[in-house]
Structure 1
Amino acid sequence: MIPSWTEWKRYPKAARGENIEAPIGPGIYEVRYRSSGALFAFGAVDNLALALSVLQVAPKSLTSWFARREAAPPDLDYRTCATATKADAKTAAERMIGRRETYLSGAA
């Protein structure tokens, strides 16, 4: 069976009580900036839900002598691709990376 990607979903914000919708199993995840579509994170993991939940998306706080302000977290989208095993996820991720490199080099 060929794994397929889910639709892009808005990355949840904990302050609003939103939740991640992802399988509790092996697969690949991709996170991108909503505004530009640039890649934020990508990986092949044992547990998609856990990997997305611990992803560091909150920026570090900015402190100064006069005030302490928290910067807003980036606006992100995510999608997942479930696989049967982590080995299958790694293989699929390597193929995707190879295809992306070929495309960006102009050979495609």
Structure 2
Amino acid sequence: MIATWSEWKRYPKATRGERLEAPIGPGIYEVRHASSGALFAFDAVDNLANALSSLHTGPKSFTSWFGRRDPVALPDLEYRTCATATRADAKAAAERMIGRREAYMNHSHVA
């Protein structure tokens, strides 16, 4: 199985009326900080759209004694997906990716 990733997309913010675009099926997702490229979330799941839409992108706001909510600054994120036929395929592909990243990181730190 050859994994094909989608293009990077800006993670939607409901306050701007934006919507998530992801397959309704198994696969892998990756979410990163747009400014630095640092990994925010990565997983192999049964339903990409559901997993990405339920991902917590910031701390929950707290309601004050007077019922007002403090605004929460969400990080500027972007995401991509890789659809697979089954969750088992997604999990196997994710494990291969993690193995390759670990090998790269271990090799790049050796002088």
Q: CA deviation at 1:63?
A: 7.9
Q: CA deviation at 1:59?
A: 2.3
Q: Structure 1: give runs of 5+ residues left out of the alignment.
A: none
Aligned to 1:75: 76
Alignment of 1:81-100 (within 5 A): 81-100=82-101
Q: CA deviation at 1:106?
A: 1.1
Q: CA deviation at 1:75?
A: 0.4
TM-score (norm 2): 0.87
Distance 1:40 1:15, change over 3 A: same
In the alignment, is the contact (CA less than 8 A) between 1:11 and 1:20 conserved in 2? Answer: yes
- Percent of aligned pairs with the same residue? 73
Tell me the distance in 1 between the aligned counterparts of 2:26 and 2:69. Answer: 40
Alignment of 1:26-41 (within 5 A): 26-41=26-41
Q: Structure 2: give runs of 5+ residues left out of the alignment.
A: none
TM-score (norm 1): 0.89
Count of equivalent residues:
107
Structure 1 vs Structure 2 CA RMSD: 2.1
